[in-house]
Amino acid sequence: MSLETDDGHDDHHHHHLPAVEDWPRGFGEASWWPFITAVGGSGIYIGMALWILRDVVGSPLIGIGAAVASIGLFLVGIYGWLYHAFITKFWTRDITAAGPVSLRWGMITFLGTEIATFGAIFAYYFYFRAGTDWALPAATPTEALTGSLIIANTMVLIASSFTLHWAHHAIRHNDRKNFVRGMGLTVFLGLVFLGGQTLEYYQFIVTYGFNFTEGVYGSAFFGLTGLHGLHVALGIVILSIVFIRGLYGQYSAERHLSVSTASMYWHFVDIVWVFLVVVLYVGAGQI
């Protein structure tokens, strides 16, 4: 595919662009990917609301379908957004001296907002937990909260941080073979973790009858773990983009900025999970 530069000449690069950056025309560098991402993110909450109001709307499948479709739209938007933020700049070499610094600070700022988001929900949980009338719902699967599935899933996610560090270290030393191996293994472990969390939800909801309508603990548990699961899914998308770019040999010891920023995000997600396990799983029955 050829791209037309500002001076009217075709800039031939053998890569695929999912959409033009200048859209709609006349808005300069405006991109519609952030808008798509925002619509998808908003739709997730709408789907949850429709599920809660399933008796009113007529079927719980309406809310579930809306939430699943919105998650897909959100991930597609993130993909396009990241593609334009990193990959198009790689092909055009349109990177200023301040580019790497701005991207790193952009990721740090983003993680700051994520800390605030998780912190607000944790504050909600701790506030009610400190109340004198605190009690776990009868349906809470206290034994399963520290069972083998949770332990194994936690070990999988922690292991993914080590494989990602191995990959990052490899590319910084121009070891592209181990970089690709480490990235591929990290993406695989992330998918395994999501599969484990899906199985956990199935057991809790179907076997124990425990869901997010079960009092403060139920809403906090599913709210925090669900939000974290969404972040893991987003991280898998980011790491998959880095992995595919690695297969095409787009990284070297001198050019690996997006590997660094993706690593920052993934390690943050891992740290949040460890905190979630300590507070929501291990600490659930501690009065």
Indicate the pLDDT class of residue 276, thresholds 50, 70 and 90. Answer: very high
Q: Is the peptide bond before 24 cis (omega within 30 degrees of 0)?
A: yes
Cα distances (Å, whole numbers) of residue 273 to 12, 117, 165, 225: 44, 14, 18, 8
Q: Ramachandran region of residue 127, left (φ > 0), alpha (ψ -120 to 50) or beta?
A: alpha
Residue-level pLDDT at 140: 83
Q: How many CB atoms lie within 10 A of CB 263?
A: 21
Higher pLDDT, 206 or 120: 206
Average pLDDT, the chain: 78
Domain coordinates in residue numbering, the chain: 1-94, 98-287
Residue 87 pLDDT more than 70?
Answer: no
Residue 122 pLDDT more than 90?
Answer: no
Indicate the pLDDT class of residue 8, thresholds 50, 70 and 90. Answer: very low
Give the least confident one: 86-95, 105-114, 131-140, 226-235: 86-95
Q: Which residues of 48-74 are buried (b: 16+ CB within 10 A; e: fewer)?
A: bebbeeeeeeeeeeebeebbeebbebb
Element (H, E) at 110: helix 99-129
Residue-level pLDDT at 104: 62
**Hey, which of 36-50, 173-187, 239-253, 256-270 has the most confident mean pLDDT?**
173-187
Residue-level pLDDT at 153: 95
Residue-level pLDDT at 150: 92
Tokens at 46, concatenated: 């709408």
Compute the average pLDDT of residues 232-253: 88
Residue-level pLDDT at 216: 80
Compute the average pLDDT of residues 38-58: 82
Q: Does domain 98-287 have CATH number 1.10.1740.10?
A: no
Residue 180 pLDDT more than 70?
Answer: yes
Tens of pLDDT along 214-237?
Answer: 778 888 888 889 889 988 998 998
Residue-level pLDDT at 30: 54
Compute the average pLDDT of residues 108-130: 78
Residue 175 pLDDT more than 70?
Answer: yes
Residue-level pLDDT at 257: 78
Question: Hey, what's the torsion of the CAs at 29, 32, 37, 42, to 10 degrees?
Answer: 120
Residue 4 pLDDT more than 70?
Answer: no
* DSSP assignment letter at 144: G
Of 148, 118, 130, nearest to 269 (Cα)? 118
Residue-level pLDDT at 100: 54
